[in-house]
Amino acid sequence: MISPLMLRGLWAYRGFVLGSVKREFQSKYSNAVLGALWSLLSPLAMIVVYTVIFAEVMHSKLPGAAAGAHYAYSIWLCAGVLTWGLFAEIVARAQGMFIEQANLIKKVSFPRICLPLIVVLSALLNFAIIFGLFTVFLVASGTFPGWVYFSILPVLAVQVLLAIGLGMVAGVLNVFFRDVGQFVTIAMQFWFWLTPIVYPATILPADVRALLGFNPMARVIGAYQDVLVQGAAPDWRSLFPVFVLAAALCLFGLRLFRRRAGEMVDEL
């Protein structure tokens, strides 16, 4: 668990954490003419492409959606793709964070637990921008689900815990076994297509569909899609095992990190 000493360290270095997040965001657009405006244009283009292609051109229909729900599949797709993007970004950044910050870790004495926090906050900042634009689209298209929309916040918390827990475990192992990073990258690609994001689970055979219960991200993405497409509250009982898994990964990742911190410095 995060000890009071670790919490005090995080608070003492809050300026370093927030400054690092700000620098990462600014560095993405430091040499661009339009600067940070690209942080709005890129996700806006993505949302427009999804809605135009899948709602207007392909006229895709989502099984179970209400008749006349013109944007149902587009919203369903965006709900899956955008939230998976957050999960994948945290895992990818976390599994390489100790190697990328090797010089900082070796030369500066600071609470190294700051690094996972920086990864999470940076990813959440990017996600807030793109999901905020998506929310504007929901309001403008008259498909905003109402107050149930805010029930995605606990789902988001579970998703972030799962991502950073998995990422921390992979990040520590990646310091000692560099093949771990390559394996995680490939595994995430398979994981994406094994999760009902671009296709509905209803098209799968019954025996294959039953296996989705062992895919934690299928439950998380499904919760987002229930809220944003159906306007229904998430199935909290379905999400509880994901929360337990996420908490276990976080605790294991923290314990592994604390026990191997000294060896990591030597290895780096």
pLDDT grade, residue 75 (50/70/90)?
confident
The answer to whether residues 195 and 208 touch, using CB atoms and an 8 Å cutoff, is: no
Residue 20: is its pLDDT beyond 90?
A: no
The pTM (predicted TM-score) of the whole model is 0.87
| Closest by CA position to 25, among listed 95, 119, 126 | 126
Stretch among 16-20, 34-38, 52-56, 119-123 having the lowest mean pLDDT: 34-38
CA–CA dist 212, 194 (Å, integer): 8
Residue-number span of the structural domain to which 58 is assigned:
4-267
The pLDDT assigned to 34 comes to: 53
**pLDDT score for 111:** 72
Q: Identify which of 14, 172, 6 has the alpha carbon closest to the alpha carbon of residue 105.
A: 172
* 256 contacts: CB under 8 Å, gap ≥ 6: 168, 169, 172, 173
How many distinct structural domains can be found in the chain?
1
CA atoms within 13 A of residue 158's CA, in its CB half-sphere: 24
Q: What pLDDT, on a 0 to 100 scale, did the predictor assign at position 68?
A: 45
Q: Output the pLDDT for position 110.
A: 67
The pLDDT confidence band at residue 67, using thresholds 50, 70 and 90, is: very low
Retrieve residue 47's tokens: 């949302």
Residue 71 carries which side chain, given as an amino acid letter? Y
Number of H helices, E strands in the chain: 12, 0
User: Is residue 264 within 8 Å of residue 175, measured between CB atoms?
Assistant: yes
173 phi and psi, to 5 degrees?
-65, -35
Residue 28: how many other CB atoms lie within 10 Å: 14
Q: Which residues contact 224 (CB under 8 A, 6 or more apart)?
A: 79, 80, 83, 152, 155
